[in-house]
Amino acid sequence: MKKFAISILVFWVLAVIVGKLFHLDPNQIDLNSILAPINTDYWLGTDDLGRDILARVLAGIQVSFFVAIIVTLITMVIGVLIGLFAGFYGGKVDAILMKITDIFLAFPGILLAIAFAAVLGAGLSNLILALCITGWVSYARLTRGQTLSLRNRQHVIAAESLGASVPRILIKHILPLLGSILMVEATYSLASVMIAEASLSFLGLGIQVPNASWGAMLRDGVRYMLVAPHYVLVVGLSLMSLILAVNLGGDCLRDKLDVRSEK
Amino acid sequence: MNYLKHMLSFTAVIFGVLLLTFLLIHAVPGDPVEVMLGESASMADRQALRADLGLNQPLIKQFGHYLTSLSQGDFGRSIHTKTPIVDLIKARYPATLKLAFLSLIIGLSIGIPLGIYAALNAGHWQDLIVTLVSVRLSAMPAFWLGPILMLVFALWLGWFPVSGMDSGTSIVLPALTLGFGLSAILTRMTRTSLLEVLNDDYIRTARAKGLSEPEVIVRHALRAALLPIITIVGLQMGSLLAGTVITETIFSWDGIGRLLVESIEKRDYPVTQACVLVVALSYVLVNLFTDILYRLADPRVRAS
């Protein structure tokens, strides 16, 4: 499983590097070969404007990874901060912060992200903003739960009685113990942000034309499925392989770090 | 007392959902009226819409107005068609409910038997295959599974209509798209939860007193194993409801998810707002219902 996950990831990294070396242009329009099937000129065929699907898939993965990493980092920082405060102080602070996360969790799945992306307007930065507004909640919950139990550990009480400041306790004595569980959570969140990004782009809320994104390509693929079924299959398989690899990577990491998670 | 506290927290969440949905329209960068009507709109039209949405009033007053109109079943009017939004929702919501319900049935009727099968053969090749397939399926979002089902069963085999909702069998492919994803998660959950129970003492007792294996599984093991499954079904209804947005778009199924997407494309934000609110409230209610069901099913929670 581990080897499988790593080999998929290595494959994609190599593919992107090779694509860069050969200067594949994802936006090069070739109206003489629209929706061409897989052939020797275009290894994965062309889309509805005759653009090279291979080049666009490779451009799409970079967007996908970029969004996933940025969103995961931002949401993790926000969520961890909120979770640390809620778990450490407890009482009213905790009650209010957790009520807020409850409200965010009351919106199913990516519905709230869709809504925010819709009113903010399309575009890469708004897409990232919409995913950040809704993505911090799981980190806040996780960190709060862990902090709550770590708060009464002897080393924390010892630091407190020695007069350590709250930020120092949180950063030096509690945060390091959360490292592995947060890392596992972040891996899974990479995969779910990729799916969310693709979903929003699928609905036309993500990166705008002519730039490539897997969600938008899937939508076009569905539109031209009757004449060019390879389009939707290629893009879908690429996305699935990547998500599967990241999720399997998360499983391996979880086993290795011996984190007991609900997932 | 516990019950009262529960209802209070439920009301607070509903209030928060209303507040967040209300604020949605204020997240529009710049002037919402200009964004919705476009730059070519006349001054009079803008003024009219601004007054109609109450945007020239203080925020608190707007929210109060929002709550009172909602309590009277008034969701406002669509900017483009001028029809009352409540009529649009009434027309579209049943289709989504139908789709979600059928998907749930598909998910349960595939997921639970497969999970039991995997748990009973734990460690054997049958278990391995079931687990492998369910991991694969649960990683398949609707916008990938949907097109594959459409390609195979509608375009190549021609068993079902490609999209729309004219024929009686139109619902099959969208329902399978949503149901498969759900079944994958249910399979894994049933397997894990049944495996935990199967090693318990009372199962050994049930076997020792000479009950047949099906009786042990169904009457004793499954009853205890069902509890976590109820919770998972409740939680998964969320992704099911959100999944209808994509699935309805793929299959041109005229439900509330498609209404949402259409309203986004037309920048008809009051409609967007109403759709988000209705879906979120449905989810909150489903979760409340799950919670009640859980209490009824678990004697330990019932007693406390």
pLDDT of residue A263: 39
| Tokens 């404007």 found at | A49
**Single-letter amino acid code for the residue at A174:** I
Given an 8 Å threshold on Cβ–Cβ distance, is A247 in contact with B243? no
Q: Which residues are within 8 A (CB) of B234 and not within 5 positions of it... i.e. 6 or more apart? A: B286, B287, B289, B290, B291, B293, B294
Please report, in tens digits, the pLDDT of each residue of chain B (304 residues total): 567 777 888 888 889 889 988 888 887 877 778 777 777 777 888 888 787 777 778 888 888 888 888 888 888 888 878 888 888 888 889 999 889 999 999 999 998 888 888 888 878 888 888 887 887 777 678 888 888 888 888 888 888 887 777 777 788 889 988 898 888 888 888 888 888 888 888 888 888 888 888 888 887 888 878 887 888 888 788 778 878 888 998 888 888 999 998 888 888 888 988 999 999 988 888 888 888 887 777 767 666 5
Domain that holds residue B284: 93-303
- Look up the CATH superfamily of A2-19+53-258: MetI-like (1.10.3720.10)
* Both structure tokens of B77: 């009017």
Instruction: Name the nearest CA neighbour of B253 among B131, B103, B135, B141.
Output: B103
In chain B, which residue's Cα lies nearest the Cα of A106? Answer: B284
Give the Cα separation of A134 and A189 in Å (integer).
12
**DSSP per residue over B216-277, as a string?**
IIIIIIHHHHHHHHHHHHHHHHHHHHHHHHHHHHHHT--SHHHHHHHHHHTT-HHHHHHHHH
Domain ranges of chain A: 2-19+53-258
The answer to whether residues B260 and A114 touch, using CB atoms and an 8 Å cutoff, is yes
Closest partner residue to B242 (CB to CB) among A108, A118, A247 is A108
Cβ contacts of A106 on chain B, cutoff 8 Å? 13, 16-17, 280, 283-284, 287
Give the Cα separation of A241 and A237 in Å (integer).
6
pLDDT of residue B265: 85
- Within the 99-138 window of chain B, which residues sit less than 8 Å (CB to CB) from chain A? 135-136
* Both structure tokens of B25: 């329209």
Q: What are phi and psi of B274, to 5 degrees?
A: -65, -40
Spans of chain A below 50 pLDDT: 261-263
Give the Cα separation of B120 and B126 in Å (integer).
9
Q: Is residue B183 part of a domain?
A: yes
The interface predicted TM-score (ipTM) is 0.81
| Tokens 């969790």 found at | A105
Closest partner residue to A109 (CB to CB) among B17, B29, B243 is B243
Give the Cα separation of A168 and A106 in Å (integer).
34
The CATH number that applies at residue B212 is 1.10.3720.10
Instruction: Name the nearest CA neighbour of A71 among A129, A16, A22, A13.
Output: A129
Q: Which residues are within 8 A (CB) of B108 and not within 5 positions of it... i.e. 6 or more apart? A: B182, B183, B186, B233
Q: Is residue B103 part of a domain?
A: yes
Global pTM? 0.85
Q: Is residue B65 part of a domain?
A: no
pLDDT of residue B1: 54
pLDDT of residue B303: 60
Q: Is residue B28 part of a domain?
A: no
pLDDT of residue A139: 92
Instruction: Name the nearest CA neighbour of B260 among B275, B249, B282, B241.
Output: B275
The DSSP secondary-structure symbol of B77 reads B
pLDDT of residue B240: 82
User: Across-strand partners of A52?
Assistant: A46
**Single-letter amino acid code for the residue at B37:** L
User: Across-strand partners of B201?
Assistant: none
Tell me whether A226 touches chain B (CB under 8 Å): yes
Instruction: Verify cis geometry, omega within 30 degrees of 0, for the bond prior to A108.
Output: no
How many structural domains are present in chain B?
A: 1
* Both structure tokens of A104: 């965010």
* Both structure tokens of B283: 């989810």
